[in-house]
Amino acid sequence: MTVIITAAELAGDLTGPTPPTLLDLRWQLSAPDDPAFDARAAYEAGHLPGAVFVDLDRELAAPPGPRGRHPLPDLAEFGAAMRRAGVCADTPVVVYDGGQGWAAARAWWLLRATGHPDVRVLDGGLTAWEGPLSTEVPTPAQGDFEPLPEPTGVLDADGAARLAGSGVLLDARAGERYRGEVEPIDRVGGHIPGALSAPTMENVGPDGRFLPEADLRDRFKALGVSGDAPVGVYCGSGVSAAHEALALAIAGIPAALYVGSWSEWSNDPSRPVAVGPDPR
Active-site residue numbers?
235
Q: What is the spatial distance between Cα 264 and Cα 19, in angstroms, rounded to a whole number?
A: 39
Among the listed residues 72, 80, 73, 122, the one whose alpha carbon sits nearest the alpha carbon of residue 97:
122
> Do 106 and 238 form a contact (C-beta atoms < 8 A)?
yes
- The whole-angstrom distance between residue 190's C-alpha and the CA centroid of its chain comes to 21
Q: What is the spatial distance between Cα 102 and Cα 179, in angstroms, rounded to a whole number?
A: 22
Q: What is the spatial distance between Cα 192 and Cα 166, in angstroms, rounded to a whole number?
A: 14
Among the listed residues 56, 3, 257, the one whose alpha carbon sits nearest the alpha carbon of residue 151:
257
Please report, as a single letter, which amino acid is at residue 236.
G
Q: What is the spatial distance between Cα 118 and Cα 218, in angstroms, rounded to a whole number?
A: 26
H or E element, residue 119: strand 119-122
Angle at 115 between CA 109 and CA 121, to 5 degrees: 35
Report the number of secondary-structure helices (H) and strands (E) in the chain. 10, 10
Q: What is the spatial distance between Cα 38 and Cα 36, in angstroms, rounded to a whole number?
A: 6
Three-class secondary structure of residue 134 per DSSP: strand
Q: What share of the chain is helix, strand, coil (3-state, %, to 5)?
A: 30, 15, 55
